Amino acid sequence: MRNEPSGRDNPRRPAFFSPAAMEARGGTVPDPAQVTEIAHETAAVLVGRGRAAQDPELTARLIALVDELGLSTVAELWADRPARSLPGALWRLYALREWVQRNPEEASADYAEGIRFTDVNHAVAGVAEPPGPEELKGLTDTVLRGVFNGDFSLALQRAAAFCRVVAAGRAERAHTTDASDREAAGAQTRRAASMLTTAEDLEASARLWQAGELL
């Protein structure tokens, strides 16, 4: 599959810098075309070397990439790329993990509320029962493990299913809040819509990966 380059020795950690980091080290900020090239190249190298290594220690470090580099660094590199591209998909997976890591109670409340409306997606997501904060943390780690050491397409599908359950939960919470706090309900509705869009983008990315076209 074109998405899985093989070859050279695997680094102990991904070696890349955001434009801000490059400038801080005395380099020059690349032009937009170079930024785009760097984003796609680093995503391809990260996934390709991670999958080629089959090294549990390296996989664990890649899963915890944001813990080491910081969300803002990863965002500078990948967040502006199209949602249905390799760097765009990776950014969404890491952002989901970071949200669950930082707000596990909120994530589990949204998820638990949504299960009864979309039990099929709950089954696809594969969250351990009962789906509490620690179980959701485990899911996001498992999804990223699948990126580097498993079926990437399935990992994207599981993440998308997770997003659909959360979106349903947010929509229901917005409905029940509307009578008492319309502003809060509106914010929940917008967040539900955003999570649904993320699910659609991840599903499309899964199809592109299967076709060898997630670049």
Can you give the residue range of the structural domain that contains 86?
19-210
Mean pLDDT (whole number) for 74-98: 97
Does residue 62 belong to any structural domain of this protein? yes
pLDDT in tens, 117-169: 999 999 999 999 999 999 999 999 999 999 999 999 999 999 999 999 999 99
Mean pLDDT (whole number) for 83-111: 97
Does residue 8 belong to any structural domain of this protein? no
Does residue 38 belong to any structural domain of this protein? yes
pLDDT of amino acid 104: 97
Does residue 144 belong to any structural domain of this protein? yes
The pLDDT-based confidence of 83 (bands split at 50, 70, 90) is: very high
Q: Hey, what amino acid is at 126?
A: G
pLDDT in tens, 2-40: 333 333 333 344 444 444 544 544 555 567 889 899 999
Domain tally for the chain?
Answer: 1
Cβ atoms of 47 and 90 closer than 8 Å = yes
pLDDT of amino acid 178: 83
Does residue 1 belong to any structural domain of this protein? no
Mean pLDDT (whole number) for 184-188: 92
pLDDT of amino acid 59: 96
Question: Tokens standing for 76?
Answer: 């500078």
**Where do we find the tokens 């991840």?**
202
Instruction: Give every CB contact of residue 130 below 8 A, 6+ residues apart in sequence.
Output: none
Report field, pTM of the whole predicted structure over 0.75: yes
Cis peptide before 130 (omega within 30 of 0): yes
Name the nearest CA neighbour of 156 among 121, 85, 206: 206
Mean pLDDT (whole number) for 79-89: 97
Does residue 9 belong to any structural domain of this protein? no
- The DSSP line for 167-207 is HHHHHHHHHHHTTT-HHHHHHHHHHHHHHHHHHHHHHHHHH
CA torsion 192→197→200→201, rounded to 10°? -140
Does residue 149 belong to any structural domain of this protein? yes
Does residue 55 belong to any structural domain of this protein? yes
Burial class, 167, CB count within 10 angstroms (exposed 0-12 / middle 13-18 / buried 19+): buried
- Return the H-helix or E-strand segment holding 208: helix 182-210
Cis peptide before 133 (omega within 30 of 0): no
Question: What's the chain's average pLDDT?
Answer: 88
Number of other residues whose CB lies within 10 A of the CB of residue 165: 29
pLDDT of amino acid 28: 58
pLDDT of amino acid 179: 82
pLDDT of amino acid 31: 78
pLDDT of amino acid 32: 85
- Return the H-helix or E-strand segment holding 13: none
